[in-house]
């Protein structure tokens, strides 16, 4: 009779499996919140870049066309919306009349539409840019009688990232700030 020896296979013991699973669970426990913060930061950056791009486009079109071009909040993509909720989206339009650069009238041309902001991101305003931002034919901001200046503040509603401010100056310059608004006051999320 032949005696066979059993060799131990290369598998895991129950103890080794439990240790590896607990290490993996710990990594996931610390990794998921950090990953959510990264996603929130990317969302905030993307929205800020879209707002900056919209404002730069409006300014360059005002200069190129020789007429007022405005960016206003819009929930339907065709008209300017009252109130101060930029989260519903915005439109860029060329105004035929210098008397009403913040209202889409009959002969005005809509140049671009931005749909509602997705996720838990809010856009608040400080200054006289609550409803719209208009660029004059020379590239400065304002209407016939009023210069515009203010800050669009982007905030993650879950608090994963700090506030980001887009400062709009009367000269038409757009500046990004993480610390202060256009009045040099600390940026805060409402």
Boundaries of every domain in the chain:
14-177
pTM of the model: 0.78
- Residue 78 CA to residue 72 CA, distance in Å, equals 10
Please report, rounded to a whole number, the percentage of residues in the chain having pLDDT higher than 90: 25
Angstrom distance (rounded) from CA 39 to CA 129: 28
What pLDDT was estimated at residue 8? 61
How high is the pLDDT of residue 147? 87
Phi (first) and psi of residue 62, to 5 degrees: -60, -45
Judge whether residue 99 has pLDDT over 90: no
User: In whole angstroms, how far apart are CA 146 and each of 61, 129, 150, 152?
Assistant: 20, 11, 13, 18
CATH architecture of the domain 14-177 equals 3-Layer(bab) Sandwich (3.55)
DSSP alpha helix (H) spans, the chain: 14-65
Q: What is the pLDDT of residues 20-62, one digit of tens each?
A: 989 988 888 877 777 777 777 777 788 888 999 999 999 999 9
Q: Tens digits of per-residue pLDDT, 111-121?
A: 999 888 776 77
């Amino acid at each position: 009779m032949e005696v066979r020896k059993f060799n131990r296979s290369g598998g895991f013991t129950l103890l080794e499996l439990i240790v590896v699973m607990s290490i993996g669970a710990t990594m996931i426990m610390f990794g998921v919140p950090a990953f959510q913060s990264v996603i929130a930061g990317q969302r905030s950056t993307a929205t800020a870049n879209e707002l900056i791009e919209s404002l730069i486009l409006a300014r360059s079109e005002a200069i190129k066309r020789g007429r007022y071009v405005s960016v206003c909040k819009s929930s339907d993509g065709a008209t300017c919306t009252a109130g101060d909720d930029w989260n519903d989206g915005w439109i860029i339009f060329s105004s035929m009349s210098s008397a009403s650069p913040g209202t889409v009238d009959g002969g005005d041309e809509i140049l671009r539409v931005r749909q509602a902001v997705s996720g838990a991101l809010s856009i608040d305003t400080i200054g006289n840019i609550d409803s719209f931002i208009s660029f004059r034919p020379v590239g400065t901001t304002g209407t016939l009688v009023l210069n515009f200046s203010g800050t669009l503040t982007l905030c993650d509603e879950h608090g994963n990232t700090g506030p980001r401010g887009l400062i709009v100056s009367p000269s038409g310059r757009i500046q990004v700030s993480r610390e202060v608004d256009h009045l040099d006051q600390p940026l805060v999320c409402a």
